[in-house]
Amino acid sequence: MSPPTAAAMRERAFADALAHDLYAPLRAIENFAALLERRAGDGMDETSRDYLSRIRVASARMGALMASLSELSAAQRAEPDITAVDLSLLVEWVAAELADRDPKRRVVVTVQPGLQVTGDERLLRQLVQHLMHNAWAFTASVSNARIEVSANTDGTRQQLLVRDNGIGFDMRYAHKLFEPFQRLHVAEQGAGHGLGLAIAQAIAERHGGQLRGESVPGTGTVFTFEWPVAPATVT
């Protein structure tokens, strides 16, 4: 693996400094909002309490957005450490995390047993997290929600498939799927901040592969990640 260039190191330092400088005022907003709420106590009227709640929700959303932007920047610069990865176990971990965060949901997650692939385990886990979180979000309105994960290889290339039976999307807009901040659905339908699939695509590209999505509205979606069995680091 070649060492990072001076330009890459400067870019990373800039991104880290920018994230630090943005987080500082955000933490101040959150802290002062909490202090104001404690100081007012029961003397705060409902309208003021509602405004304060909106401030805290907005700052939390901003914090999550900044964290995702940092994750995207890191994914775009990542140098994969290629090893053998137990993909089945990785998917089970992610499924358990999703279930713990949203215990009221009943989603059947199935993963093909014994899946072995090559790649950077940490980055592949991030990719699977974003694809499965996407599937989890867009099956929220489905009573018998299902997410299926499988993989295959022909010896030179390998594929990971994440399939769901959610609300799907119109293939006319498929070209926008992996663009940052693009949302093909409104927030009420499960859309987040529009960075998860961009992060997944960046990870796919760093593995020398590609990510694509296919869907039928009202039927479901399948995301396919295809990459070389022995991927070379992308420079």
Kindly tell me the burial class for residue 162, based on how many C-beta atoms sit within 10 Å of its own C-beta (0-12, 13-18, 19 or more).
buried
CATH architecture of 83-228: 2-Layer Sandwich (3.30)
Average pLDDT over residues 24-49: 81
Rounded to 5°, the CA angle 177-181-182 comes to 35
**Percent of the chain whose predicted confidence (pLDDT) is above 90:** 50
- Contact call for residues 118 and 84 (beta carbons, < 8 A): yes
Q: With H, G, I as helix, E, B as strand and everything else as coil, classify residue 230.
A: coil
Write down the pLDDT at residue 163: 97
| DSSP for 12-25, written as a single string | HHHHHHHHHHHHHH
- Contact call for residues 130 and 213 (beta carbons, < 8 A): no
Identify the band that residue 232 occupies on the pLDDT scale cut at 50, 70 and 90: very low
Residue 178 carries which DSSP code?
Answer: T
- Contact call for residues 181 and 199 (beta carbons, < 8 A): no
Q: What are phi and psi of 95, to 5 degrees?
A: -60, -40
Write down the pLDDT at residue 208: 94
Nearest to 225 by CA among 235, 14, 206: 206
Full-model pTM: 0.79
Residue with tokens 């802290």: 31
Mean pLDDT, the chain, integer? 85
Nearest to 153 by CA among 112, 192, 121, 191: 112
Higher pLDDT: 58 or 7? It is: 58
Question: If residue 214 lies in a helix (H) or strand (E), which one and from where to where?
Answer: strand 210-216
Taking only the tens place, the pLDDT of each residue in 165-201 is 999 998 888 888 888 877 665 444 445 577 999 999 9
- Contact call for residues 74 and 112 (beta carbons, < 8 A): no
